[in-house]
């Protein structure tokens, strides 16, 4: 569903800030240290899930002070909506995953269907190891696979529709510097 710029502007102004940029920075640094312990000597291939993973991926990788390669995939199941449907693969990795230590990076684990399907697909590609990192995990009991967690989670968010730091509201507001929840959603 399309949206006007005025509506987007109002959504941002009326939203509740869940996490500030400073809090996000600290949480990403803490997760980067854990990833460093696990992957610093493994020449990992970091796969950013577009579009939402863009900001988190960039910020995280600049905190990983060891050699790594990066690539991206584009998979989406929400489009311009605030509820998800079937996962659509738009771009596959350009690198071969065979024998690589792969770290998948995404913005949000909500129901977890996106991440679950990406990981299932990569498991069949003879990877040396497979890890995943998310900026936020949404707290509710509707996970696609009950109890499913990312290997690395920076922050939790309540069961509301959130935007900012890469996450969109109808294609907008990915550029918001904190994480916000839409009023009433």
Ligand X SMILES: O=P(O)(O)OC[C@H]1O[C@H](OP(=O)(O)OP(=O)(O)O)[C@H](O)[C@@H]1O
Ligand Y SMILES: Nc1nc2[nH]cnc2c(=O)[nH]1
Q: Please report whether residue 108 would count as binding ligand Y according to CB under 6 A.
A: yes
Q: Catalytic residue, from 106, 110, 137, 168: name it.
A: 110
Closer Cβ to ligand X, 42 or 149, answer by number: 149
How many other CB atoms are there within 10 angstroms of residue 8's CB atom?
17
Residue 133 interacting with ligand Y (CB under 6 A): no
End-to-end CA distance of the chain: 16
How many helices (H) and strands (E) are present in the chain, helices listed first?
4, 9
Six token digits for residue 5: 């710029």
Name the binder of 165 from ligand X, ligand Y, none, CB < 5-8 A by kind: none
Q: Which is nearer to ligand Y, 122 or 163 (CB)?
A: 163
Q: Are 112 and 87 in contact (CB under 8 A)?
A: no
Our finding on whether 42 is near ligand X (CB under 6 A) is no
Residue for token digits 């980067």? 32
Least distance to ligand Y, CB of residue 118, Å: 14
Q: Say whether residue 113 binds ligand X (CB under 6 A).
A: yes
Minimum Å distance from CB 178 to ligand Y?
13
Tokens 């510097």: give the residue. Answer: 177
Report whether 162 contacts 156 (CB < 8 A): no
Question: Choosing among ligand X, ligand Y, none, which partner's interface includes residue 76 (Cβ < 5 to 8 Å by kind)?
Answer: ligand X
């Amino acid at each position: 569903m399309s949206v006007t710029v005025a509506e987007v502007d109002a959504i941002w102004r009326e939203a509740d800030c869940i996490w500030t940029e400073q809090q996000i920075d600290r949480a990403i640094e803490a997760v980067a240290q854990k990833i460093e312990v696990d992957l610093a000597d493994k020449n990992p291939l970091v796969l950013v899930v577009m579009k939402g993973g863009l900001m988190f991926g960039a910020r995280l990788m600049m905190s990983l002070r060891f050699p790594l390669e990066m690539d991206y995939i584009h998979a989406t199941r929400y489009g311009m909506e605030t509820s998800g449907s079937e996962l659509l693969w738009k771009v596959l990795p350009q690198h071969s995953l065979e024998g690589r230590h792969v770290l998948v990076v995404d913005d949000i684990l909500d129901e977890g269907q996106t991440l679950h399907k990406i990981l299932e697909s990569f498991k069949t590609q003879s990877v040396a190891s497979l890890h995943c990192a998310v900026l936020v995990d949404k707290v509710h009991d509707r996970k696609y696979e009950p109890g499913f967690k990312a290997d690395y989670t920076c922050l939790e968010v309540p069961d509301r529709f959130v935007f900012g730091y890469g996450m969109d509201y109808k294609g907008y507001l990915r550029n918001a510097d904190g994480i916000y929840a839409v009023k009433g959603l």
